[in-house]
């Protein structure tokens, strides 16, 4: 017997391997070693770093913002961070974990620093699942608010995906919870409380989920935001001046660590049919690293990839039509009450992979298309086909708490009467 199989025989993975014959011995061993490292980090290393300071006095002015995936604060927390910085007297600490783009050693180091800092913090804000925040026995004085990074409830996440291909299975999620220690979860509407309770294992604790709105949407109600967005657009893409803008903003495919973008959108076909009146701007998901090329003759004249150069907020402000698929940007875009199309050529495959909280055809406030030709035909006949009321009803259902004052309500919720303003 080989050394790999001998070692495998001693691990819990062996029955699964011999039953399904899908996991090669070397890969199985790596998975087992990864699970061991994760156990040590979450059961020993991080709790030890937290407990080293848990008896120190709580700093009533310390506010921590945790950005899990990226090397800068992303839009889901940006507006709240800005308001606290400019109008309140708090000691704000920013932890950029940047998971997925750093080594295991650096990830462990950053998480240790986070939990040690968190042990004496009064307030913690995060906008994504966090095993580091969830693995410690949190002090009762600390208030942890999950702002989440998206509005509405579209594709499934968290425990809702436990029996699907996407994400960790139920056993893994129960062993290493991602949504533990939450004081509040802020959402965009009362309608979706049930979905977040399911995803974050808060069934029976629905009172923690507060439909006070999503902070990031406040900017869409500010006239200066709209003006600045158009300035950015014309500076980056001068050909858009005097034209209508079609925004193509798909979500990613596959797992987070190896996110890919769909490659079936055909800018050449759009140019042939709509080039006189429209331009196309593409905004791929920030997790995607390899972007599809734009035909050279269309670059800068009809089509422009703004993935790395313009924010999604700017693009939602300036777009006349939005084409998406399963992305939550449709919730924010509904605030503008403009036309949406859904390019869902791989709907059945995506449903099997991840699933949705609502039936797809009932959820989408616009036509569901399988081909580029269908989308082009709809846009050519937009005036007679676009149902404005359908978008308004969608907005009222899923975005009712987003009215330009969500950040104020979140501050009132979390800080209450003790808010320390200048």
Say if 301 falls within a structural domain.
yes
Same domain membership, residue 238 and residue 206: no
Residue 287 has pLDDT above 60, yes or no: yes
Same domain membership, residue 251 and residue 190: no
How many CB atoms are closer than 10 A to CB 362? Answer: 8
pLDDT for residue 367: 97
CA end-to-end span of the chain:
71
The DSSP-derived string for 99-114 is TTSS-HHHHHHHHHHH
Q: Are the C-beta atoms of residues 181 and 136 closer than 8 Å to each other?
A: yes
pLDDT for residue 71: 87
Say if 328 falls within a structural domain.
yes
Distance CA 39, CA 346 (A): 36
Same domain membership, residue 255 and residue 195: no
pLDDT for residue 25: 61
Containing 84, the helix (H) or strand (E) segment is helix 75-87
CATH of the domain at 160: 3.40.50.11820
> Residue 17 — pLDDT band, cuts 50, 70, 90?
very low
173: Cβ contacts below 8 Å, ≥ 6 apart: 158, 159, 162, 167, 201
pLDDT in tens, 200-226: 999 999 999 999 999 999 999 999 999
pLDDT in tens, 329-343: 999 999 999 999 999
Say if 35 falls within a structural domain.
no
Say if 41 falls within a structural domain.
no
Mean pLDDT for 214-240 is 96
> Residue 32 — pLDDT band, cuts 50, 70, 90?
low
Mean pLDDT for 253-281 is 91
What does the radius of gyration of the chain's CA atoms come to, in whole angstroms?
23
Mean pLDDT for 182-186 is 98
Same domain membership, residue 103 and residue 233: no
Say if 43 falls within a structural domain.
no
Side-by-side strand order, sheet with 184-186: 91-96, 59-67, 121-126, 143-146, 184-186, 209-210
Residue 2 has pLDDT above 50, yes or no: no
CATH of the domain at 318: 3.40.50.12580
The DSSP-derived string for 276-321 is TTEEEEE---TT--SPPPPPGGGBTTTEEE-TTTS-HHHHHHH-SE
The position carrying tokens 């846009």 is 379
Say if 208 falls within a structural domain.
yes
82: Cβ contacts below 8 Å, ≥ 6 apart: none
pLDDT for residue 101: 84
> Residue 85 — pLDDT band, cuts 50, 70, 90?
very high
Same domain membership, residue 388 and residue 271: yes
Mean pLDDT for 87-94 is 97
> Residue 27 — pLDDT band, cuts 50, 70, 90?
low
Say if 331 falls within a structural domain.
yes
Q: Are the C-beta atoms of residues 210 and 204 closer than 8 Å to each other?
A: no
**Structural domain total, the chain:** 2
For residue 304, which phi and psi values (nearest 5 degrees)?
A: -145, 130
Q: Are the C-beta atoms of residues 118 and 130 closer than 8 Å to each other?
A: no
Same domain membership, residue 210 and residue 136: yes
Same domain membership, residue 286 and residue 353: yes
372: Cβ contacts below 8 Å, ≥ 6 apart: 264, 265, 266, 269, 270
Residues facing 64 on adjacent strands: 93, 124
Same domain membership, residue 280 and residue 185: no
Mean pLDDT for 140-166 is 89
Nearest Cα neighbor of 194 from 177, 178, 211 is 211
Mean pLDDT for 167-174 is 81
Burial of 289: CB neighbours in 10 Å, binned 0-12, 13-18, 19+: exposed
Using DSSP's 3-state secondary structure scheme, residue 340 falls into: strand
For residue 244, which phi and psi values (nearest 5 degrees)?
A: -85, 150
β-pairing, 91-96 with 321-324? Answer: unpaired
Same domain membership, residue 276 and residue 212: no
Specify the range with the lowest mean pLDDT, choosing from 37-51, 100-114, 161-175, 303-317: 161-175
pLDDT for residue 22: 52
- 380-389: list long-range contacts, CB under 8 Å, 24+ apart: 380/273, 380/274, 382/321, 382/339, 386/339, 388/337
Say if 15 falls within a structural domain.
no
Same domain membership, residue 186 and residue 303: no
Tokens of 177: 């919870």
Residue 139 has pLDDT above 90, yes or no: yes
Using DSSP's 3-state secondary structure scheme, residue 329 falls into: helix
Same domain membership, residue 303 and residue 208: no
Q: What does the angle CA 248 – CA 253 – CA 256 come to, to the nearest 5 degrees?
A: 115
pLDDT for residue 362: 80
Average pLDDT, the chain: 90
pLDDT for residue 182: 98
pLDDT for residue 16: 43
Same domain membership, residue 233 and residue 206: no
Domain extent at residue 370: 226-398
> Residue 21 — pLDDT band, cuts 50, 70, 90?
very low
């Amino acid at each position: 017997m080989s050394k790999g199989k001998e070692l495998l025989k001693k691990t819990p993975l062996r029955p699964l391997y011999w039953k399904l014959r899908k996991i090669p011995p070397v890969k199985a061993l790596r998975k087992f070693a990864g699970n061991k490292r994760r156990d040590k980090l979450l059961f020993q290393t991080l709790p030890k770093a937290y407990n080293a300071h848990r008896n120190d006095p709580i700093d009533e002015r310390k506010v921590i913002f945790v950005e899990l995936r990226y090397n800068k604060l992303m839009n889901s927390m940006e507006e709240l961070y800005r308001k606290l910085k400019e109008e309140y007297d708090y000691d704000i600490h920013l932890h950029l974990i940047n998971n997925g783009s750093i080594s295991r050693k650096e990830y462990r180091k950053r998480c240790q620093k986070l939990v040690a800092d968190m042990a004496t913090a009064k307030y913690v804000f995060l906008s994504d699942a966090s095993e580091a925040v969830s693995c410690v026995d949190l002090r009762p004085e600390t208030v942890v608010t999950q702002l989440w990074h998206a509005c509405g409830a579209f594709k499934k996440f968290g425990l809702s995906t436990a029996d699907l291909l996407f994400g960790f299975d139920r056993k893994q999620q129960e062993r290493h919870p991602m949504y533990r220690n939450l004081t509040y979860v802020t959402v965009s509407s009362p309608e979706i409380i049930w979905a977040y309770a399911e995803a974050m294992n808060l069934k029976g604790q629905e009172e923690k989920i507060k439909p006070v709105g999503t902070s990031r949407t406040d900017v869409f109600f500010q006239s200066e935001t709209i003006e600045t967005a158009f300035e950015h657009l014309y500076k980056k893409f001068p050909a858009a001046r005097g034209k209508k803008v079609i925004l193509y903003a798909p979500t990613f495919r596959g797992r987070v660590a190896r996110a890919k973008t769909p490659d079936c959108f055909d800018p050449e076909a759009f140019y042939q049919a709509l080039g006189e009146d429209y331009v196309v701007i593409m905004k791929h998901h920030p997790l995607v690293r390899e972007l599809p090329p734009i035909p050279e003759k269309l670059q800068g004249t009809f089509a422009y990839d703004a993935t790395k150069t313009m924010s999604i907020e700017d693009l939602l402000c300036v777009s006349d039509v939005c084409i998406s698929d399963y992305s939550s940007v449709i919730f924010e875009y509904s605030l503008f009450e403009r036309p949406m199309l859904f390019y869902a050529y791989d709907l059945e495959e995506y449903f099997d992979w991840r699933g949705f909280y609502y039936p797809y055809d009932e959820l989408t406030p616009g036509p569901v298309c399988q081909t580029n030709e269908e989308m082009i035909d709809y846009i050519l006949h937009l005036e007679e086909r676009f149902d404005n009321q359908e978008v308004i009803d969608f907005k009222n259902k899923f975005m009712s708490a987003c009215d330009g004052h969500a950040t104020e309500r979140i501050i009132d919720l979390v800080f209450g009467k003790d808010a320390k303003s200048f």
